[in-house]
Amino acid sequence: ETGVTQSPTHLIKTRGQQVTLRCSSQSGHNTVSWYQQALGQGPQFIFQYYREEENGRGNFPPRFSGLQFPNYSSELNVNALELDDSALYLCASSWDRMNYGYTFGSGTRLTVV
C-alpha cells in the first residue's frame, strides 16, 4: 500500500465531545507525526510516535493523545473538544524519522461547534 490515508476527511463535533482521527501509513513506516493546521497558519507539531512509543510532543495539552499500532496505522484522540480545536489535522509518516522522508496525508478537517 502506498501513500498515507486519513479518515474521516471531514468531521463536525460539539464542544465537550471526544474525537478519534485515524491514519493509515505506508507499510514499513515506523514513525508517525501528527500536526494541527489552523486556518491561515502553518502546521503545528502535536506529537510523534516511533515504533509504537511516543517520541516527542509539542505544546499541546494532555487531552490530545495518540496511539500507533503494529500494522502501521495510528490514531489521534482529542478529549473535551474546544472551539479552538477546529483545524485541519495532518498525519505524516516515514520509515526512518528523517524529516525529508515524511509523507503527509490529506488531513481531516475537524469543526467544533
Partner 1 sequence: DQQVKQNSPSLSVQEGRISILNCDYTNSMFDYFLWYKKYPAEGPTFLISISSIKDKNEDGRFTVFLNKSAKHLSLHIVPSQPGDSAVYFCAASIGSQGNLIFGKGTKLSVKP
CB of 55 to partner 1, least distance (A): 9
Beta bridge partners of 91: 34
- 3-state class (DSSP) for residue 9: coil
What lies within 8 Å, CB to CB, of 43 at 6+ separation is: 35, 36, 37, 90
Please report, as a single letter, which amino acid is at residue 48.
Answer: Q
Of 34 and 81, nearer to partner 1 (C-beta) is 34
Name residues contacting partner 1, limited to 86-105 (CB under 8 A): 90, 92, 97-105
At 99, phi and psi to the nearest 5?
Answer: -60, -35
Name residues contacting partner 1, limited to 59-88 (CB under 8 A): none
Of 10 and 15, nearer to partner 1 (C-beta) is 10
The x, y and z cell numbers of residue 79, run together, are 478529549
Question: For the window 24-43, what string marks contact with partner 1 as x by the rule CB under 8 A?
Answer: ---------x-x----xxxx
Catalog residues that contact partner 1 under the rule CB under 8 A: 4, 33, 35, 40-45, 48, 56, 58, 90, 92, 97-107
